[in-house]
Amino acid sequence: MRKAVSNGITGTQYGMALLLCLVFLLALTLIGLSASSDTILQNRLASNLQETERAKQSANSTLSWAEQWLLSLDGAPPERCTAPCGGLNLHAKGDIPVHPESESFSWWLNNGHEAGIDPITGDRIATISSDSINLPVWIIELVKTTPAMVEGNPDLQTWYRILARGSGRTDSAVSVIESMVVRSWPTVEGADSPDQVAPASCSRFGMPVKCGRYAWRELR
């Protein structure tokens, strides 16, 4: 009678081989999950970056529009309107909170104006496309007014602080920027564009400078 030939592999060895296969399969699964998580995270970061950039573009467009609107005004300087405000909501120095970038959208809307709409007439004169969750809004503050000499005529030199808020398509994507704008009243005739309005010399430390945007910074 012929005996069965043993191949030298015991049941314990079969069990160890199976365990190693399971460990290897688990490692591959974890690697796959990790790669998938990294992809999801990268997509989220890219989306957040895109929405942040969208908010910045909206805020910059809003700020530029508000500055051009202010510089394009003729005649006497705009006056502050009292509540309920039916015209330009021109804030006095100190009225705006220290950190307006932290205020809610409803606060901005109540204290400012939608970009593209003339705050005095209420007419829409431009469309500021932002494709965002909230409307682009701007706020204006009267900082100071000093006399300036323009070609021998005493005109008012006025400093304004303009704040603009833009947003993306998510609640967290918000950008707030501000600028200091200087201009004289009345507007000097002969300007060809809003950027050239009030080309009169504004006095600062005895040095003549062109009226317009004087400073800029990003708050959020």
Concatenate the DSSP letters of all residues of 100-164 into one string: GGGS-HHHHHHHSEETTB-TTT--B-------SSS--EEEEEEEEEEEEEETTEEEEEEEEEEEE
Question: What pLDDT is stored for residue 137 in this prediction?
Answer: 95
Question: What pLDDT is stored for residue 196 in this prediction?
Answer: 44
Question: What pLDDT is stored for residue 138 in this prediction?
Answer: 96
Question: What pLDDT is stored for residue 201 in this prediction?
Answer: 44
Q: Which of 138, 13, 155 is nearest to 65 (CA)?
A: 138
Q: Are 125 and 117 in contact (CB under 8 A)?
A: yes
Question: What pLDDT is stored for residue 67 in this prediction?
Answer: 94
DSSP letter at 7?
-
Supply 20's token pair.
């190693």
Question: What pLDDT is stored for residue 97 in this prediction?
Answer: 94
Question: What pLDDT is stored for residue 76 in this prediction?
Answer: 76
Question: What pLDDT is stored for residue 208 in this prediction?
Answer: 52
Tens-digit pLDDT string for the chain (220 aa): 444 445 555 667 677 777 888 888 888 888 877 777 777 777 676 667 888 899 999 999 999 999 999 988 877 788 776 656 667 889 998 889 999 999 999 999 999 999 999 998 889 988 886 677 889 999 999 998 877 665 555 567 889 999 999 998 888 899 999 999 988 876 444 444 444 444 444 544 344 545 788 889 999 8
Question: What pLDDT is stored for residue 11 in this prediction?
Answer: 63
Close Cβ partners of 172 (under 8 Å, ≥ 6 residues apart): 48, 51
Q: Which of 103, 132, 128, 101 is nearest to 116 (CA)?
A: 128
